[in-house]
Homo-oligomer: A and B are copies of this chain.
Amino acid sequence: MTVRVGIIGAGAMGADHARRLHSAVSGATVTAVTDIDHDRAAALAEQVGAEVRADAGDLITADAVDAVIIASHDSVHADQVAACLAHRVPVLCEKPLAPTVADCARLVAAEEALDLPVPLISVGFMRRFHPPYAEIVEAIDSGVIGEPLLARCSHRNVIAYPGGDSAATITNSAIHEIDIVGWLLGSPITEVSWHATRSTSLDGSRQDPQVLLLRTASGVLTVVDVFVNARYGYDVRCEVVGETGTVNLAPAHSITVDHALTSTAAYPEDWLPLFAEAYRRELQAWIDAVAAGRPSPLATARDGLQATRVAAALVESMNGGGVPVKVQS
């Protein structure tokens, strides 16, 4: 069976998913595309041999659509996911599932109310399919580092999207760290605090970098620094320290180029090259699950709710001057 996918949102992320499904995933075909910008939808549709649909509702209910990817503006995720639930269509919603805890919780409740044997909602936390993170989990599970005690993560973007503020750093960028930390440590984050440092002069609209302390139910503290105007390169670091050892992501470059008294290794400008394989594996896993009628191995609606709850707690800590805040559960 070839899974026929409809894509809502033909921006960078939606286009990337569409092209990847079309050219690098087995068992899928993109049959429908929609976007509030019709020309953008048409251009993408032509690239991948799909039809343009008038709007999200039209796409979700189309006969030729077995499954939907939502890569639209965050603010409409909740309604579009709800529409997929209403029509019993499997949906992969880009992160965040919804910007507010209330909306996420409604979607979780709506899905659970359907009481289906196979959940419909998957959330696009693609890092769970990044092979080096899987290797970290394998190393932890092997016992070689002993019980995890502490983690350190860094998230560095070259330059922030214009228009964001300090809260947007948390809900758009740090949210990836939030999801992956809970996933790596196998324990939900239950308490957080937010800490400022000297802020870059290159972005007047937000505190940047930020330091986040995340504590899991298992007691492990994770220190995350998020710097969305780091300039030097797109860079993601992660270390998990255990009782008898430590595991670290290795630098991600494939070659070194030495010249002019310098050995150099390139950083990518954004996350796409680093996570290209993660996106491919995520899509393939989702398509395979949809085709087989199995539960998807992607992040669930509950995972999406949990990430949004942690982000909300961090924003609350930020607004409260850095006090510890419990994550709602």
Contact = CB atoms under 8 A, between A and B. Distances in A.
Interface stretch (A69-77, A192-200, A300-308): A192-200
Contacts of A244: 202, 231-232, 259-260
Interface string A148-179: 11101010101000000000000000000000
A82 interface: no
A152 B223 CA distance: 10
Contacts of A152: 152, 154, 223, 225
Interface residues of A, number: 81
A227 B259 contact: no
A246 B258 contact: yes
Given A24-B26, A221-B195, A264-B264, A232 B258 contact: yes
Contacts of A209: 149-150, 241
Interface string A316-329: 00000010100000
A251 interface: yes
Interface string A232-270: 110100000101111111111111111111111111110
A182 to B, nearest CB: 15
A200 B148 CA distance: 9
A23 B292 CA distance: 13
Contacts of A247: 255-258
Chain A interface mostly helix, strand, loop or mixed?
A: mixed
Given A23-B26, A158-B261, A262-B266, A220 B197 contact: yes
Given A231-B243, A241-B230, A256 B250 contact: yes
Contacts of A232: 145, 244-246, 258-262
A284 B284 CA distance: 14
Contacts of A215: 197
- Please list the 9 inter-chain residue pairs (A to B) with the smallest Cβ-Cβ separation, ordered nearest first: A245-B259, A197-B221, A198-B219, A132-B254, A232-B245, A232-B258, A263-B265, A231-B244, A232-B259
Interface of A: 21-26, 28, 131-132, 135-136, 139, 144-150, 152, 154, 156, 158, 195-202, 209, 211, 213, 215, 218-221, 223, 225, 227, 229-233, 235, 241, 243-269, 277, 284, 288, 322, 324
Given A249-B255, A262-B265, 6 more contacts: A25-B26, A146-B231, A150-B225, A235-B258, A245-B257, A247-B255
